[in-house]
Every structure is written in structure tokens, then in C-alpha cells.
Structure 1
Amino acid sequence: MLSLQNISKSFQTDRIETIALSDINLHVNKGEFVSVMGPSGCGKSTLLNIMGLLDQPSSGEVSIDETPITSYKDKQITGLRSQKIGFIFQSFHLIHDLKVLDNVELPLLYRKMSAKERKALAITALEKVGLSARIHHYPTQLSGGQQQRVAIARAIVGKPEILLADEPTGNLDSHMGSEIMSLLESLHQQDNTTIVMVTHDEEMAKRTQRTIRVFDGQLI
């Protein structure tokens, strides 16, 4: 489903080169729920960004469905990301001036569909996360857990095959965090969504099928 071969990533400044990832080889199977753990600054988010085609590796090859995307042009990468990948962020990244429904519709603006179709898909996604009664609220009128649910609805509205989550419970208390984790488990089981989740929480990681550990830019 998602494969990384000999992936390395470095960041160059005038004075120093920082190696974020070094020789990463990783395969995530279709329908698998994987957690990624490691200390702060070890390369977890960089790894997730490369998986999600938000960043390009310095060397190595990323493949989705056994198709290498190294030679893809920017427009092709954007299209593939829009069709196949959903993102959930720790800080929600909701637009406070837009109502919940409009926030969830945003990823669909890049697809050729009517406003009516976008609205129907957004409502369906909000129903899945239990927020159909909040579609006309603004993010600031919601709790942190509810805002994360909106962010999840936005991530799944386009029915992606791959869901990438960067510390999705990191800004929530333990109760809300467990609720969000249960929601991700439900999406995984019901829709067979492939999920890769970065987390610092060992208890959350134990609820996934496999845990990958990163240290100093390498898999251990």
C-alpha cells in the first residue's frame, strides 16, 4: 500500500547539514493501523510528511499501491494526495471564521463536484464523527475534543485510503484522547482505512496493530 525505500532527508543551511532521516525502509500494508513513536526531534513528523507527499526525500523512493511517485510532477502529486490521503494534525488547523460544515468541505474544493455534492459528503463525514448537530457552529464554539472530531471529518470527507495522524490526541486530556482514539479505531475497522499515527502515548500505541520506533532519524 505505502512503501518507503532507502529514504533519507537532510536540511541544509549555510553552516550545517541536519540529517532528519537516514536510510528508512518501511512498508505499510493496506488496512493496517500503525503507530510511530520516538523522542521529540527524532524525525517522526518528517517521516509522516514524506509518507503524505507533503515533503520530498533527499534520496530514496516513495511508492503508493506499488507505483513509485519519484518522477511525478507537482500537479500529479497534488492530485494523488487529494484522492488518496487524509491528514489529521495535533493543532486541528481549523479556520475559525468558517463554520464547521465549511471547514469539512475544504478538501473537496479541489475536486470537480457541485456544491450540493460537497455539502452531502461533509454532512456524512460529520455524522461519522458524531457532530451532525454542530454543522452551523464555529470552531471556537466547540471543545478541544469536538474540534479534533471536525478535523477528522475534514480528513475523511474525501474517503481517502490512507489516513495520516500527527499526535491527534496530543492536545487533549486523557478522556477526550481515548474518545478520539476510539473514533480512529472505528474508522479503521468499518472502512478498512490504512492509518499511520505519530504519538508519544504508549497506551494509544498499544491500541494499534504495530508500533514503529524512530530514534535519531532511523528505525530501531
Structure 2
Amino acid sequence: MIKLEKVSKTYFTDKVQTLALKDIDLHVQKSEFVCIMGPSGCGKSTLLNIIGLLDRPGAGEIHVGGKAVQSYKDKHVARLRNDTFGFIFQSFHLINDLRVIDNVELPLLYRSMSGSERRERARAALEKVGLGARMEHYPNQLSGGQQQRVAIARAMVGQPDVLLADEPTGNLDSKMGAEVMDILLKLNEEGTTVVMVTHDEKEASRAHRIVRVFDGQLVA
């Protein structure tokens, strides 16, 4: 499904260069649930961003669905990213001036489909995460756990093959965090590949596999 081969990433400033990732070899299988763990600043989020084509590596190869993508032009990368991946972030990144259903529709604006089809998909996604009755609310009228469920609905509305989640329970209490994990696990059971960054060993233990990162490298 996703394969990284000898992927490295270095960030440069005027005076400093920082090696974020070094020689990463990683293969994520279709319908797998993988957790990425490691201390703060070790390169976890950089790795997730490269997997999701939000960032390009400085060296190495990325294969998505068996195709090498490092030579793709930006517009082709953007189309592949929109078709293949759904993104869930720790801070939700919802737009407070838009209703819940409008937030969920956003990824579909970049696809060729009618407004009625976008609305129906958004409704279905919100029903799936248990927020069918909150479609007309605004994000600031919801609890943190509900906002994260909206973010999950937004991530899955495009029916992506892969969900990428960066600390999706980091801003939630244990009860709300467990509810979010249950939703991700159910989506995975239905066939969606999930790659999640987390600091929580208990959450990670529910995944199929744990990948550990230290100083930009994979460790056993």
C-alpha cells in the first residue's frame, strides 16, 4: 500500500541544519493499523507528513499503491493526496464560522461532484461518527470529543484508502479519547488503513503494529 525506501529529510535554516529523518524503510500494508511512537522531536510528525505527501523527502523513494511518486508534479501529488488520504490532527483544525456539515464537506470541494452529492456524503459521514443530530451546529458549540469526531468525519468523507492521524486524542480526556480510538478501530475493521502518531502506549497496543522512532531513525 505505502512503501518508504531509504527516506531522509533535513531542514535547513541560515545557520543550522536539522536531520529530521534518516534512512527510513517502512512498508504499510492495506487495511493495517500502524502506530508511530517516540519522544517529542524525534521525527514522528515529519514521517507522517511524508507518508501523506504533505512534505517531500530530501532523499529516498515513496511508493503509494505500487507507484513511485517522488517524480510527480505538485498538481499530481495534490490529486493523489486528496484521493488517497484523509488527515486527522490533534487540534481539530475546524473552521468556527462554518457549520459542522460545511466543515465536513470541505475536502470534496476539490472533486468533480454536485453539491447535493457532497451534502449527502457529509451527512453519511457525520451519521457514522454519531453526530447526525449536530450537523447544523458550529464547532464552538461542541465538546472537544465531538469536534474530533467532526474532524474524523471530514477525513473519511472522501472515502480515502488511508487515514493519517497525528495525536488525535492528545487534547481529549481519557473517555473521549477512548471513543475516538473506537471509531478509528471500527473504520480499520471495515478496511481503511490507519497510520497514527501517539504517545499513549495503551492506545498503541490496540494497533496491529507499533513503529518506534528515535532521533529520526526507526528502532526495534
Match of 2:36 in 1: 36
1:70 shift after superposition: 1.0
Match of 1:52 in 2: 52
Do structure 1's residue 153 and structure 2's residue 147 form an aligned pair?
A: no
**Matched residue type, 1:152:** I
Do structure 1's residue 144 and structure 2's residue 144 form an aligned pair?
A: yes
CA offset digits 1:138-191 (Å, max 9, x no partner): 00000000000000000000000010000000000001000100010011112x
Trace 1:51-70 onto structure 2 (pairs within 5 A). Answer: 51-70=51-70
**Ranges in structure 2 where 5+ consecutive residues have no aligned partner:** none
Distance 2:178 2:163 in 1: 18
The alignment yields a C-alpha RMSD, in angstroms, of 0.4
1:14 shift after superposition: 1.4
Trace 1:49-198 onto structure 2 (pairs within 5 A). Answer: 49-190=49-190, 192-198=191-197
TM-score, normalised with respect to structure 1: 0.99
**Matched residue type, 2:206:** R
TM-score, normalised with respect to structure 2: 0.99
Distance 1:11 1:85 in 2: 24
Distance 1:109 1:140 in 2: 23
SS at the partner of 1:104?
A: helix
**Matched residue type, 1:135:** M
SS at the partner of 2:154?
A: helix
Match of 1:218 in 2: 217
1:71 shift after superposition: 1.0
SS at the partner of 1:219?
A: strand
| Percent identical | 64
1:199 shift after superposition: 0.1
SS at the partner of 1:25?
A: strand
Distance 1:95 1:14 in 2: 34
**Matched residue type, 1:41:** G
**Matched residue type, 1:215:** F
Match of 2:25 in 1: 25
**Matched residue type, 1:209:** H
Distance 1:82 1:18 in 2: 29
SS at the partner of 2:25?
A: strand
**Ranges in structure 1 where 5+ consecutive residues have no aligned partner:** none
SS at the partner of 1:23?
A: strand
1:15 shift after superposition: 1.0
Count of aligned pairs between the two proteins: 219
1:16 shift after superposition: 1.4
**Matched residue type, 1:90:** Q
1:66 shift after superposition: 1.0
